[in-house]
Structure 1
Amino acid sequence: MSTERVETIVIGGGQAGLAMSYHLGRLGGEHLVLERGQLAERWRGERWDSLHFQSPNWNMNLPGWSRMTADPRADPDAFSPLHEVTDYIERYAATIRAPVRTHCAALSVTREPGSRALQVQTDGTLYVAHNIVVATGPYQVPRATPSSLGGGVFELHSTQYRNPMQLPAGAVLVVGAGNSGVQIAEELCRAGRRVFLSVSSHERIRRRYRGKDCIWWLIATGSADSTLRDWKGARLSRLMTGVNGGHDIDLRRLAAEGVVLIGRVKAAEDGKLAIADDLASSIAHGDESLKAFDRRCDDTVRAQQLDLPAAGPSEDPLPDPAELQAPIRVLDLARAGIRSVIWANGAHADFSWIDLPVFGQSAEPKRAPVHERGVTAEAGLYFLGLPWLHKWKSAFLFGADEDAAHLAQHIVPRRR
Structure 2
Amino acid sequence: MTAARIVVVGTGYVGLTTGACLASLGHRVTCVDVDQTKIARLSAGRVDILEPGLAELVTRGLTSGRLGFVVGAREAVRDAEGVFLCVPTPMGAGGSADLRAVEAVTSEIGDVLPTGCALITKSTVPVGTAQRIRAMLGRTDIPVVSNPEFLREGTAVADFLGPDRIVVGSDDLDAARWVGDLYADLDAPVVVADAASAELVKYAANCFLAMKLSYVNSIAELCERLGADIDLVTEGMGHDRRIGRTFLKPGPGWGGSCLPKDTSALVRVAESVQYDFRMLTSAIEENIAQRDRIVAKIAGAVGGTLAGARIGVLGLAFKAGTNDLRDSPALAVSSVLGALGAELTAYDPAVGGEIAGMVVVDDPYQVAKSADAVVVLTEWNEFKRLDWTYFAELMEGDTVVDTRNLLDPHRIIDAGLVWQGVGRPRAAHRPVSAANV
* Range of TM-score over shorter length: under 0.3
| Larger RCO (alpha carbons 8 Å, 6+ apart) | 1
Structure showing greater Rg: 2
**TM-score after normalising by structure 2:** 0.24
Task: Identify, as 1 or 2, the structure richer in helix.
Answer: 2
Task: Identify, as 1 or 2, the structure richer in strand.
Answer: 1
**TM-score after normalising by structure 1:** 0.24
